[in-house]
Amino acid sequence: MRVAKLNMVQAINLALHEEMERDPDVIVMGEDVGVDGGVFRVTEGLLNKFGSERVIDTPLAESGIVGTAIGMAVYGLKPVAEIQFEGFSYMTIDQLAAHASRIRNRSRGTYHCPMVIRSPYGGGVRALEHHSEAVATFYIHIPGMKVVIPSSPYDAKGLLISAIRDPDPVFFFEPKRLYRAFREEVPEGEYTVPLGEGKKLTEGDDVTLISWGAMARVCLEALKLVKDVSVELIDLCTLSPLDDKIITESVRKTGRAVIVHEEPRTLGLGAEIIARINEKAFLYLEAPVKRVTGYDVPVPLPKLEDYYLPDAERVADAIKEVATF
Amino acid sequence: MRVAKLNMVQAINLALHEEMERDPDVIVMGEDVGVDGGVFRVTEGLLNKFGSERVIDTPLAESGIVGTAIGMAVYGLKPVAEIQFEGFSYMTIDQLAAHASRIRNRSRGTYHCPMVIRSPYGGGVRALEHHSEAVATFYIHIPGMKVVIPSSPYDAKGLLISAIRDPDPVFFFEPKRLYRAFREEVPEGEYTVPLGEGKKLTEGDDVTLISWGAMARVCLEALKLVKDVSVELIDLCTLSPLDDKIITESVRKTGRAVIVHEEPRTLGLGAEIIARINEKAFLYLEAPVKRVTGYDVPVPLPKLEDYYLPDAERVADAIKEVATF
Amino acid sequence: MPRKKILELSVDWLSILDPEGNVDESLEPDLDKGTLEKIYRTMVLTRLFDDKALKLQRQGRMYTFGASLGQEATTVGSAFALNPDDWFFPAFREQGAQIARGIPIKLLYIYWMGSEDAYIGMPLRNFTIAIPVSTQILHAVGAAWAAKIKKEKIASIVYFGDGATSEGDFHEGMNFAGVFKTPTVFICQNNQYAISLPRERQTASKTLAQKALAYGFEGIQVDGNDALAVYSATKAALEKARSGGGPTLIECFTYRLGAHTTSDDPTKYRQMVEVEEWKKKDPIKRFQLYLAKKGIWSQDYEDKLIKELTAEIEKAVEEAEAYKPGVENIFKYVYAEMPSNLKEQMDELLAYISKKTEG
Amino acid sequence: MPRKKILELSVDWLSILDPEGNVDESLEPDLDKGTLEKIYRTMVLTRLFDDKALKLQRQGRMYTFGASLGQEATTVGSAFALNPDDWFFPAFREQGAQIARGIPIKLLYIYWMGSEDAYIGMPLRNFTIAIPVSTQILHAVGAAWAAKIKKEKIASIVYFGDGATSEGDFHEGMNFAGVFKTPTVFICQNNQYAISLPRERQTASKTLAQKALAYGFEGIQVDGNDALAVYSATKAALEKARSGGGPTLIECFTYRLGAHTTSDDPTKYRQMVEVEEWKKKDPIKRFQLYLAKKGIWSQDYEDKLIKELTAEIEKAVEEAEAYKPGVENIFKYVYAEMPSNLKEQMDELLAYISKKTEG
Ligand SMILES: Cc1ncc(C[n+]2csc(CCOP(=O)(O)OP(=O)(O)O)c2C)c(N)n1
Ligand SMILES: Cc1ncc(C[n+]2csc(CCOP(=O)(O)OP(=O)(O)O)c2C)c(N)n1
Ligand SMILES: [Mg+2]
Ligand SMILES: [Mg+2]
């Protein structure tokens, strides 16, 4: 198997190429995904290779994209629909919450809805309003949905392949700040990273550090600032269903935890993680779990954006605080 | 001041009458709110009294209702918009998350958006699909929104008046199961129940029980089953912004807490409450906080609905479990 | 010519059978006796199904239900134009079409008695009932589009009301259908009301059919109480769709004779005289007169039919009432594979239930 | 007549000034010299504003920005038809209209340099830029409706692109406007592309103007590169609106000469020859020729104007770049009164910042 150094855009693009090659039912649709190759170039080359019936430039209508993708999925295709920016995904919530996520249950398995919604996610690229949001909560809270966010090119490819092959609807968020942030070795050809499983980026005994997406990279940076604390960094990869096991086992070991996310604090996934820790590792806890998060405000426009996003120092401070509680 | 025994529908209706009387800028709009008086009769009599320019039967379009209400609010009216059932409120999330909640911030106070969205909420009435959902999380997680849910006729009137007078957008959920469940004394004329403040329905020392809406009534029933435990029952009334103070003070006293809600467990408000308790009362906790909630599934159709909804026994069991942990 | 007319558009009306059962022979569809009888039978069964459902609801044996009294020609006439391999997307007032599609009425009763289990064993290509108004339109467009992509020569049909035309999803679905020329037939059941809102206050356009013009395809208004007109228009639209001609919007001009649902009180918003006027245009009566003229229908025929259908309904209701779904079904179908949080929650519930039953 | 045409509808086209600057005198609006000069000045300022913004962005002094090159007649022509007390709802490519409305360009630069503080001191009735496509349409309808309810004889104007017509909110807004006859003028800037998607693939309708017919009101297509046509059509629509005649959709047929935004590469999806063709129809050039024929414009006039406007821009940029928003602004305006969670979070951030600056 050939291996190349790819950034996340390339890794996702490769996954799409390979899955479309493998399975003629996989189609890609969304605004500007065809001729333009996507505003981030994630779908580049697909139109040329697979033609306009499988790589579809849609009209500008997010509910329309997701709603028609549902019909396609029910019919037997596997649509991979792009929502151009996460801030426009709100328009898809109705079709996802009222339909995609329920079709299997509502029809008692007679129909199901194997589809992926891809969308860039999160801040850090100095973008327009609505282009820097972290919106996972809306989708995690919908029963029947799965939510995935990779933090590296390798995982992005492997998780996206899993998402495409998953028989249920998956919202696949792509931390846009990592799109071209770094390269790593990504094998060509088939491999998967399983949905529903977190992974340890570092092992440690003192503090469990939990994150995902771009914030997982910020956490890695933060570790350089807290050399004296032994930190176990967990990258959740899948936010729904949540990997309770990896969290619980780690916190039972360390007794301390810090959660880092871009979402506004209130009802960001951090809240649920704390609740699960409370339920499954209460007696092991030696300090309150600490959240380092976006604030309960709209993401500021670029001039003040850096103040909003958790950075390595804020994370490091939190680790120290929790470690010495 | 005259006082009458009213049910929740009547109390809300009275609040609307009085506020419309008081302030000519208050208008009511939504599907079937005029001629029909609302599918639950909440807006009955308003059309006759205030005319079709202030009591507006709209076309069938939820985003349209909320989006135009935003324009009205910005212009200087105070729209009270009804979404006929909470399961159709998903269609309003975009206008609320992208606009209503941000207009003040985005315009740095040049514009603001004083509006109320009213919607029935929750299960227990044997209704069609999408008519029994508890959807507060979606709105609590939006910075700039307020979210209110009353549990009694008296509070419903007082909270709705506060919501209408609030200068920011408020989602006001009405637990439909309580619409006609009981009557209590509701004064005519002006009084308010403040937003942002929970209230104690009982005082107690052993366990803090936190709930809102119809579940607050279920909690009251549950108390009859646990006579030997001294329970402090808090009705949050406002879910956003959350009344940290009342929760923290109570848990610091009791060291134990149970949270009851209809929402699916994952990222229901219970999660955030646990996170806040963890942050503000960690050292006082003597047992893991327990959640009694809806499950992470679509609300079942009527035949199995009762299994989904927390009932007094489930709550009582949880109280006992936590009390004896 | 700096100011000039650059575009002219128009909308047609179609009716074939008048309220007295007289047929316009130039337009009469070529249907054999057996099919005509089936259409009639299905319309009558639909009405009896509704009547029974309303009774059951009043007796507390069923939950909220929306009858289709007066709309049977629209639902049944259109569904008879379908091929079995066409895809069918109902809203919530299409029992006529569902019965025409061969869905056992027992399953329909199970659904309206409050169980998703109605869909276990449902004949395929008949999609689930959509409660959120207009949302199903996109699914029908997506399915038709998928058929096109997979080179399968079928069409999809989708039903919705006059009220549904105001929703964003209607617009987005119609527009996608126009752009991608999906083989979709849009059946708008214009029954003049969306709960209490009369059609004229739903939109300022003169017809609903003309809305198709905004998407570059044909819209036609048909007499929705005329099963032959509905059948013919639908048949033509389906054939056009299957042969690559793209979508059609058919506005079926009809009337809801009953309440919106069992929770509704129509006296709040409309006059009895209006209802009486429309009763004269009853679609079943009209078809009956037509069949009588053809020598198919007689009072005897009617009595036998009613007896047979009533028995069918009683049996279906009995079976539906006997049906008891298992509690695990709450959890079993949410995902293909049950995640750990659901397993835990299911175990929690099952333990609670067994404690309760023991206690 | 069982099959009959029941409705005929049509759409008009309007142009007044041709690409050579020749005017159709029968349609020429009655504008005095001062106003004509102001229109020209504003179009030129808009273009210079855009040019400067593109340069700043390339130098890393500004963020993503969508220029309006080629669309100045549409934005400026329409905005000049407004009264100061009309309400204005832009999308994100209406700098021309914003400048015409008297918004200081310094504020526009502050916004595009990434600060909400641009809105501090913004002249009223000029609503915030709307990034999510088509969502602002509903606000404009709501504001117009409010004006109607409050018996204030003003209109609202709302801008959006060809792409926006596909969104549900466009539909819902148009429909509400039709039903409630709100005094709203809908300006669709049809610049032929929504990022890479050409107009013909956005919708299958022949014009965008005809979409108004679905809502029971008038739609007109005007030459969007002709400031006089845009002005006249908008003026007429606004007057109709203010006097109770209800809404109008004006499709301004124009072209985006530049990239969608600074992040876009239009060579991916269109041919240079197409751009060249449209450059010949440049709205500013055309107006210049018109003014020249009227004896208003000359090369001297132009040189002086450019010099003056360039200085104005340089000053605005300087001031905008000097502007530094305070960190508390992140928290201060979310609610009228700051709730405790925000207070805590603000304190947390301020403490972190002061630790960092000390450390
Ligand atoms: C999105 C949405 N909003 C509101 C409702 C509540 N509701 C149910 S039926 C109905 C009216 C539907 O009218 P129409 O489309 O004409 O269909 P009809 O009921 O007349 O068959 C409404 C408002 C709903 N089901 N879905
Ligand atoms: C709801 C939404 N979806 C997607 C986008 C991303 N986006 C920004 S502009 C644009 C194209 C808009 O096209 P059009 O309406 O024709 O306006 P134009 O850019 O041509 O002025 C898109 C897809 C957005 N801003 N909002
Ligand atoms: Mg109707
Ligand atoms: Mg455009």
Q: Which residue from D minimizes the CA distance to C22? A: D2
User: How far is the CA of A148 from the CAs of A169, B264, C302, in angstroms?
Assistant: 11, 19, 60
Q: Which residue from D minimizes the CA distance to A38? A: D196
Q: Using one digit for the tens of pLDDT, what is the confidence trace for D5-39? A: 999 999 999 999 999 999 999 999 999 999 999 99
* D168 touches A: beta carbon within 8 Å: yes
**Which residues lie across from C13 on neighbouring strands?**
C221, D4
Nearest to B297 among C163, C196, C330 (CB): C330
**Which helix (H) or strand (E) is B232 found in, with range?**
strand B231-235
10 Å Cβ neighbour count for C289?
A: 19
pLDDT by residue, tens only, chain A of 325 residues: 689 999 999 999 999 999 999 999 999 999 999 999 999 999 999 999 999 999 999 999 999 999 999 999 999 999 999 999 999 999 999 999 999 999 999 999 999 999 999 999 999 999 999 999 999 999 999 999 999 999 999 999 999 999 999 999 999 999 999 999 999 999 999 999 999 999 999 999 999 999 999 999 999 999 999 999 999 999 999 999 999 999 999 999 999 999 999 999 999 999 999 999 999 999 999 999 999 999 999 999 999 999 999 999 999 999 999 999 9
First to last CA, chain C: 88
Q: Is residue C269 annotated as part of the catalytic site, yes or no?
A: yes
Q: Among the options D47, D101, D242, D260, which is catalytic?
A: D260
**Which residues lie across from B294 on neighbouring strands?**
B264
Q: Please, which residues have CB within 8 angstroms of residue D348's CB and are 6 or more apart in sequence?
A: none
H helices of A264-311, in order, are 269-281, 302-308
Using CB distances shorter than 6 Å, the residues near ligand 1 are: B 31, 60, 62, 84, 88; C 93, 131-133, 160-164, 189, 191, 193-195, 256, 260
Q: Which atom of ligand 2 is nearest to the CA of D256?
A: 20
Q: Which chains touch A (3 or more CB pairs under 8 A)?
A: B, C, D
SS3 D338: coil
The fraction of chain D above a pLDDT of 90, given in percent, is 98
10 Å Cβ neighbour count for C121?
A: 10
Residue with tokens 């009705």: B235
Helix axis angle, D33-58 to D105-112, nearest 10°: 30
Name the minimum distance, in Å, from the CA of B256 to any CA of chain D.
23
Task: Sketch the domain layout of chain C as residue ranges.
Answer: 12-325, 326-359
Q: Which residue from A minimizes the CA distance to B130? A: A98
The answer to whether the CB of C317 falls within 8 A of the CB of C107 is no
Buried b (16+ CB within 10 A) or exposed e, D169-202: bbbbbbbbbbbbbbbbbbbbbbbbbbbbbebebb
Q: Tell me the C-alpha distance between C317 and C315, whole Å.
A: 5
First to last CA, chain D: 88
The answer to whether the CB of B306 falls within 8 A of the CB of B280 is no
Choosing among 3.40.50.12780, 3.40.50.970, 3.40.50.12280, 3.40.50.720, the CATH entry for D12-325 is: 3.40.50.970
CB contacts, 8 Å: A87 with chain B = 98
**Do C9 and D13 make contact, defined as CB atoms within 8 angstroms?**
no
Nearest to A68 among C127, C130, C176 (CB): C176
Residue A124: exposure state from Cβ atoms within 10 A (0-12, 13-18, ≥19): buried
Q: Using one digit for the tens of pLDDT, what is the confidence trace for C262-309? A: 999 999 999 999 999 999 999 999 999 999 999 999 999 999 999 999
**Do D336 and B99 make contact, defined as CB atoms within 8 angstroms?**
no
Tell me the ligand closest to B82's alpha carbon: 1
**Which residues lie across from A294 on neighbouring strands?**
A264
Positive/negative CA dihedral, C15, C20, C26, C28: positive
Bond into A241 cis (ω within 30): yes
Bond into B241 cis (ω within 30): yes
Q: Which of residues 284-323 of B touch C (CB under 8 A)?
A: 295-298, 300-305, 307-308, 313-314, 317
C95: which 2 tokens?
Answer: 């029992």
Q: Among the options C101, C260, C286, C290, which is catalytic?
A: C260
Q: Tell me the C-alpha distance between D106 and C219, whole Å.
A: 50
SS3 B136: helix
**Could you give all domains of chain B from N- to C-terminal order, each with its CATH number?**
3-187 (3.40.50.970), 199-323 (3.40.50.920)
**Which residues lie across from D159 on neighbouring strands?**
D187
Q: Which residue from A minimizes the CA distance to D163? A: A60
Q: Which of D209, D134, D213 is nearest to D175 (CA)?
A: D213
Q: Which of B264, D5, B278 is nearest to A285 (CA)?
A: B278
The fraction of chain A above a pLDDT of 70, given in percent, is 100
Q: Could you tell me if the CB of D185 is within 6 A of ligand 2? A: no
CB contacts, 8 Å: A143 with chain B = 264, 266, 295-298
Q: Using one digit for the tens of pLDDT, what is the confidence trace for D176-198? A: 999 999 999 999 999 999 999 99
Q: Could you tell me if the CB of A31 is within 6 A of ligand 2? A: yes
Q: Tell me the C-alpha distance between B210 and B192, whole Å.
A: 22
Position B194, amino acid: P
* D247 touches B: beta carbon within 8 Å: no
**Do B272 and A271 make contact, defined as CB atoms within 8 angstroms?**
yes
Q: Which chains touch D (3 or more CB pairs under 8 A)?
A: A, B, C
**Which helix (H) or strand (E) is D305 found in, with range?**
helix D299-322
Q: State the best of D128, D133, D136, D139 to mutate against chain B, taking most chain B CBs within 10 Å.
A: D139
Q: Tell me the C-alpha distance between D177 and D171, whole Å.
A: 10
**Do D331 and A91 make contact, defined as CB atoms within 8 angstroms?**
no
Q: Which of residues 78-137 of C touch A (CB under 8 A)?
A: 87, 116-117, 119-120, 122, 124, 127-128, 130, 132, 135, 137
Q: Could you tell me if the CB of D246 is within 6 A of ligand 2? A: no
Q: Tell me the C-alpha distance between A16 and D63, whole Å.
A: 30
The answer to whether the CB of A299 falls within 8 A of the CB of A123 is yes
Q: Tell me the C-alpha distance between D41 and C279, whole Å.
A: 66
pLDDT of C70 above 60: yes
B166: which 2 tokens?
Answer: 């609030």
Q: Which of D254, D314, D332 is nearest to D109 (CA)?
A: D314
Buried b (16+ CB within 10 A) or exposed e, C172-207: bbbbbbbbbbbbbbbbbbbbbbbbbbebebbbbbeb
User: How far is the CA of B49 from the CAs of B34, B45, B53, B54, in angstroms?
Assistant: 11, 6, 11, 10
Q: State the best of D22, D170, D171 to mutate against chain C, taking most chain C CBs within 10 Å.
A: D171
**Do D172 and C170 make contact, defined as CB atoms within 8 angstroms?**
no
Q: Tell me the C-alpha distance between A177 and A180, whole Å.
A: 7
Q: Tell me the C-alpha distance between D232 and D248, whole Å.
A: 13
Query: What length does chain B have?
Result: 325
* D354 touches A: beta carbon within 8 Å: no
- Confidence band of D358 (pLDDT split at 50, 70, 90): confident
Q: Using one digit for the tens of pLDDT, what is the confidence trace for D197-256? A: 999 999 999 999 999 999 999 999 999 999 999 999 999 999 999 999 999 999 999 999
Q: Tell me the C-alpha distance between B15 and C89, whole Å.
A: 42
Nearest to D5 among C6, C10, C206 (CB): C10
Q: What value of ipTM does the predicted structure carry?
A: 0.98
Q: Which of residues 228-257 of A touch C (CB under 8 A)?
A: 241-242, 244-245
Q: Using one digit for the tens of pLDDT, what is the confidence trace for D254-313? A: 999 999 999 999 999 999 999 999 999 999 999 999 999 999 999 999 999 999 999 999
**Which residues lie across from D261 on neighbouring strands?**
none
Q: Tell me the C-alpha distance between D55 and D350, whole Å.
A: 35
Nearest to D132 among A130, A266, A305 (CB): A130
Please report the number of interchain residue pairs, chain C to chain D, with beta-carbon separation below 8 angstroms: 144
- Confidence band of D359 (pLDDT split at 50, 70, 90): low
* pTM greater than 0.90: yes
The answer to whether the CB of C122 falls within 8 A of the CB of C103 is yes
SS3 C3: strand
Q: Is residue D256 annotated as part of the catalytic site, yes or no?
A: yes
C-alpha D302: how far from its chain's center? 25
Which residue, judged by its Cα, is nearest atom 19 of ligand 1? C194
Residue A226: exposure state from Cβ atoms within 10 A (0-12, 13-18, ≥19): buried
B298: which 2 tokens?
Answer: 């679509």
10 Å Cβ neighbour count for A318?
A: 21
Tell me the ligand closest to B62's alpha carbon: 1
Average pLDDT for C94-116: 98
Rg (CA), chain B: 19
Residues of chain B scoring pLDDT < 70: 1
**Do D143 and B75 make contact, defined as CB atoms within 8 angstroms?**
yes
Name the minimum distance, in Å, from the CA of D109 to any CA of chain A.
13
Q: Which residues surround ligand 4, an ion (CB under 5 A)?
A: D 161-162, 191, 194
User: How far is the CA of B124 from the CAs of B8, B239, B299, C208, in angstroms?
Assistant: 16, 21, 10, 37
Buried b (16+ CB within 10 A) or exposed e, C224-247: bbbbbbbbbbbbbbbebbbeeebb
Q: Which residue from B minimizes the CA distance to C331? A: B297
Average pLDDT for C328-345: 98
DSSP single-letter state for residue C335: S
Q: Which of C261, C333, C264 is nearest to C115 (CA)?
A: C333
A311: which 2 tokens?
Answer: 């950075």
User: How far is the CA of B249 from the CAs of A25, A132, B253, B281, B284, in angstroms?
Assistant: 57, 36, 6, 8, 10
Q: Among the options C93, C139, C199, C256, which is catalytic?
A: C256
H helices of chain B, in order, are 8-22, 46-50, 62-75, 93-95, 103-106, 136-140, 153-165, 213-225, 244-254, 269-280, 302-308, 312-323
Please give the pLDDT value at position C2: 79
DSSP single-letter state for residue B187: E
Query: How many angstroms does the Cα of residue B171 sit away from the middle of ligand 1?
Result: 22
The answer to whether the CB of B251 falls within 8 A of the CB of B285 is yes
**Do D120 and B110 make contact, defined as CB atoms within 8 angstroms?**
yes
